Structure 1
Amino acid sequence: MQLQKENILIVDDDVNILELLQRHLQSWNYHIYKAVSVKEAVTILRDTNIDLLITDLKMPEIDGLELIKFVSEHYPTLPKLVVTGYPSAQDSLTSIKSRVVAYLTKPFTKDELKVAINKSLLISKTKYQKKVKLLKKVNDTYGEIIGSSEKINDVVQIIERVKNNKATIFIKGESGTGKELVARAIHYQGKFARAPFVAVNCGGIPENLLESELFGYLKGSFTGAETNRDGFFQAANGGTIFLDEIGNASLAVQSRLLRVLQEKEVVKVGASKAESIDVRIIAATNSNLRDMIQKQTFREDLFYRLTVVEIHVPPLRERKEDIPLLVDKFLLKYGVEYKERFVKVTTEAMEILNRYDWPGNIRELENVIQRAVIMCENIIEIEHLPEHIKYTLDFSSEKLLSLKEIEKQYIQKVLRATGNNKTKAAEILKIDRKTIRQKLSE
């Protein structure tokens, strides 16, 4: 008995090429997904765990290079194999920069295709195994959730309780705290992990399109509806749909969502007949839905349907003991992404990272570490941190200090932030070097 191999997505506007590739790949027992356009490919990538992308470059509307760039940004570990009938030096260069691991020119033989696929998958597995080995250095992980603080442990305990049932879950928290990571952990750590997980940003889809995107539509139901199309709910059938920024949904969409929760069925736009659906709904927002209920912009009955189980994801300022673990995670991530550029953080720089309040939460911390990895040579020092973080002071301590002590601490912090550069420190403090020397001697 042959075991099913990896999932491979092939993208080409030439149906004959798609069929040829499909025959070859199926003869080697791969599981095949096909797309005739970049838009269709992106939909498949979002709904399916793909192990290898094979794509043409020259396609109408959006070309294959745009797909490659999209995959490099959103699925950095996914190997990419380019198959094209119109090779060019520029395309090759762009492909290499986007970490394409193999490049085939049409016409090609079956053996050439097999070699290219084996090479692509082997490189991917080697990188993955290396990454897994490195990730073992980062302790206290639950799926993609990293932390050992009491507040993050509370979140993990709730996930453990709900992961194996399909109760509706509401996740609340500030922007950048990792609400989608919590939703993914609920899905992928439980017994429904092999079913689809579909994430929908309700704030990222225009209001007039959200309804048809969620529930699907029939041909002719509105201008531009040229075919029947399933929505995100149908794509998530049997699994989990994550509705991020649910507060952005219109009252009309809210009404339809209420029906899904009450009747376990959806009605496509333009249809009269309902379709049964088996989907776990996880909703999230950084808005205050209770305030929206008072303003009559969010349905109270929907709110109570959504909040069967509530999970509060704490802001980073309330779990600062997790910052070193998160920093390790991002150093590893960008060390791998930027070709083995593994760097360290000085004690002084880490102290500043620990003291900052992170209004943008984990997303802001990741951006800061990514920038620092790019800017430094081998070690992240204070000078590689953004200005607004370097010069942030924390006066929230309950201990009351004299003005002289506060002045002393501030001068010391500015000197640390400037790498003990007294000239630069004097400019920031609006005093001269002589005054700094005098105060240091005091």
Structure 2
Amino acid sequence: MSNAVKDLKNYDSSDEALKKTVLLVEDDEDILESFQEIIRSWGYKVFTAPSFSEATLKINNQKFDLILLDVQLGNISGLRVVDVVRRNMSNMNNTTPIILHSGHLDMAMIQTYRTDISEALVKPVTLNKLKEKIDQWVGGRHLAVVESSAQKHFSVLIGDADLTFANSLSEKLDSKILKSYVVENINDVKQRLNLQKYDCVMLGFDSNDSQVSALVKSLKEDKTMLNHNTPIIIMNMNTGNNSTEMLERLPVTGYLEKPFDIPKFKKNLVEVVFRYQGIVN
């Protein structure tokens, strides 16, 4: 029997399948290769992406347990990867922990992305420290979220002129820890936001409507408002290529394209709220 056949017989595919996955996004080929081998030696299955385009392709097509991201990817900021992951609320990696690992970090950058990243490590970082942080976010995060969610009750305000859709969304979101409220016009949304603190606001109105823009901007700019830090999600029909323009224009947490997978989004929603409350960051 050849050595190749022996190796194949001894190979346990289930062990490989059970390994946690890490996406390493780094444009320096030497660093990419060395860190791939090091992290693999810690028991993780490592995928690599040397560019923004390749990282985006993999993030859109595979679920990872952690993303380790360099801030500078050639001429493109690696923070655009964060935007791809976090702003599209239906992205399968929307709640995946992201560790920034770079020599180009500053406090202003970290503060801007504080609700979107899990950790920021300045190069050079010791391997022991890197392993500690990867193990922490891959191994302990889910348990921490489950334990915290068991003790929390979250409120979601849904504003949408399509009451059939809004009521269906509300019905599917409601659970022991989630309670949603439906209103059908922007004025009712404003009134509710002035009277009650919500853990998330979902708006299904036209994002080009000046009233929507004014509401979102007032919430984010006026720190005295009850819902100043509340995550805001825009739900639009077929935003397509307009999503980037919309996100640049409106300071919202993210967007969803109708119709979307509600059960899948529901799984992400609690962790999105946790990020904004500082429970998992």
TM-score between both structures, scaled by the size of structure 1 = 0.33
- Higher strand content, 1 or 2: 2
Greater gyration radius: 1
Higher relative contact order (CA 8 A, sep 6+): 2
